């Protein structure tokens, strides 16, 4: 049983590494940058949805959910900022001004 678990773990690691190498070599760079893109997307769009449009957070998720939800999400209603982490990537957006809406930090 222990040996099986060890082999299974090896298999998972090999598949993960092979997948990572394949995507790094053959897929558009945006694929490997997916966490960064998603973090930036959630930060900007949740900021706009919450503070410019004025929707509830649930509605905002409904409007912008794509592929996976943020790993962590912090919304500061007073400072009007949104901080997001998707896997290893982090992003933050805030209300710049009433006219210019949200921008990423």
Partner 1 sequence: MILRGRSFAVGVGIAVGFALVESSVGAVAPVYPEADWAKGDPARHGFDPSFGTELDAYAFAKDAPFTTDGLLVLHGGEILYERYARDYTAKMRHYAWSMTKSVSMALFGIAEGEGKIRRDDPISKWVPEADAKSFTGVTIANLISMSTGILWREGYEASPFDSHVVTALYRTRASFDFGLYRTEITKRVAPVGERFNYASGETNLMMKALGRSLGPAYADFPWNKLFTPIGMKSAVFERDGSGNFVGSSYLEATPRDFARFGYLFLRDGNWRGKQIVPAEWVKMAATPSPAMAHLRLDHRPADSPYGYGWWLNRAFPRAQIGKPFPSFPDDMYFASGHDGQELVVVPSWDVVVVRVGNDRFGKRLDLERIGKILKDARAKSAPAKGSVR
Closest CA to 42 of 79, 62, 69: 69
CB of 9 to partner 1, least distance (A): 28
Tell me if 25 contacts partner 1 by CB under 8 A: no
Q: Smaller CB distance to partner 1: residue 11 or 27?
A: 27
Which of 47, 54, 61 minimizes the C-alpha distance to 94?
A: 47
How far is residue 58's CA from residue 75's CA, in Å, rounded to a whole number? 13
Chain residues in the site for partner 1 (CB under 8 A): 27-28, 30-31, 33-34, 36-38, 40-41, 44, 48, 52-56, 59, 62-63, 66-67, 91, 96, 98-104
């Amino acid at each position: 049983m222990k040996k099986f678990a060890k082999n299974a773990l090896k298999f998972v690691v090999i598949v993960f590494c092979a997948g990572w190498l394949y995507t790094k070599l053959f897929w558009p760079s945006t694929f490997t940058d997916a966490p960064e893109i998603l973090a930036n997307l959630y930060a900007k769009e949740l900021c706009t949805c919450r503070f410019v449009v004025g929707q509830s957070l649930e509605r905002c998720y409904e409007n912008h959910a794509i592929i996976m939800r943020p790993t962590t999400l912090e919304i500061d209603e007073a400072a009007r900022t949104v901080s997001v982490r998707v896997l290893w990537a982090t992003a933050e957006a805030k209300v710049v001004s009433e006219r210019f809406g949200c921008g990423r930090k």
